[in-house]
Amino acid sequence: MRRGPKSRSGGDPAEVKVDARSERWREHRKKVRSEIVDAAFRAIDRLGPEVSLREIAEEAGTAKPKIYRHFTDKSDLFQAIGERMRDMLWAGIFPVINLATDPAGEVVRRSVEQYVYLVDEHPNVCRFLVQGFAEQSESTMRALNEGREITLAIAEMFKNELRDMDLDREAIELAAYTTFGSATSATDWWLGTDPTSPRRMERAKFIEYLTTIMLGLIHGTTALLGIRIDPDQPIGKAVPRLHG
């Protein structure tokens, strides 16, 4: 019996076509989702944190029903906005730090600096991520968790540099959550609740103060862990044991 042509991978040609269509559809959905998140950023930046889904749809040049074809609900869109902000922060931090060679204090300062730059560029998006859509307290927490994950990831990077030490993971996580909470509260204070409010402090001064606060939290936590960080040394060389 004569057999039909096989694909190069040996699969059925019909299955290959279906897989190709599915992949194109996935890529299309990914592209449209990204475009809607871009539009959400523009709408929030322009209109403020009280933006509606209808206004986001108008900015995207589409209708609300189309948004729901690419996001399951408001919380899904909200989380995507939080993830975009997270990725933008990572993109700013990673090129300017080197944990192996940079002094520990400089790593903290540069990370704070990139965070403040991003907040200053998108203040209304930051306010939005704290407030959420109306009646969206659950999605607010999900977006805030993206920020916590960044802080925990940075803490994990520090921990990896100190992998020869048996450190208390719970203490490190507590410090990371406390650091995130302090940064969030400080950001709320700096921006003010009204989108028209001027910054409460000149940006360079805010970066300096917030860096000092973050270093204070780190020093306090590392003291509980029995180590002392020399901020002028790379993290791998900066932590002689205090005891034990």
Query: So what's the pLDDT on residue 171?
Result: 73
CATH number at residue 208: 1.10.357.10
pTM (two decimals): 0.75
Please identify every stretch of the chain with a pLDDT value under 50, giving residue numbers as ranges: 135, 137, 139-141, 143, 161-162, 241-244
Q: What is the count of structural domains for the chain?
A: 2
Q: Largest Cα–Cα distance of the chain, in whole Å?
A: 82
Query: So what's the pLDDT on residue 170?
Result: 75
Distances in Å between the Cα of 217 and the Cα atoms of 214, 224, 228, 236 are: 5, 11, 12, 19
Average pLDDT, the chain: 79
Encoding tokens for residue 227?
A: 């180590």
Query: So what's the pLDDT on residue 242?
Result: 42
Domain of residue 83: give its range: 76-237
For 241, the 3-state DSSP assignment is strand
- Nearest residue to 112 via CA among 185, 193, 206, 198: 206
Instruction: Encode pLDDT of 20-29 as tens digits.
Output: 777 776 787 8
Considering the domain architecture, whether residues 43 and 117 belong to the same structural domain is answered as no
Considering the domain architecture, whether residues 118 and 210 belong to the same structural domain is answered as yes
Query: So what's the pLDDT on residue 72?
Result: 87
Query: So what's the pLDDT on residue 130?
Result: 75
Task: Report yes or no on 1 lying in a domain.
Answer: no
Task: Report yes or no on 4 lying in a domain.
Answer: no
**124, 195 in Cβ contact below 8 A?**
yes
CATH number at residue 30: 1.10.10.60
Considering the domain architecture, whether residues 26 and 86 belong to the same structural domain is answered as no
Considering the domain architecture, whether residues 112 and 219 belong to the same structural domain is answered as yes
Q: Which of 71, 102, 118 is the last residue of a domain?
A: 71
Task: Report yes or no on 5 lying in a domain.
Answer: no
Considering the domain architecture, whether residues 63 and 94 belong to the same structural domain is answered as no
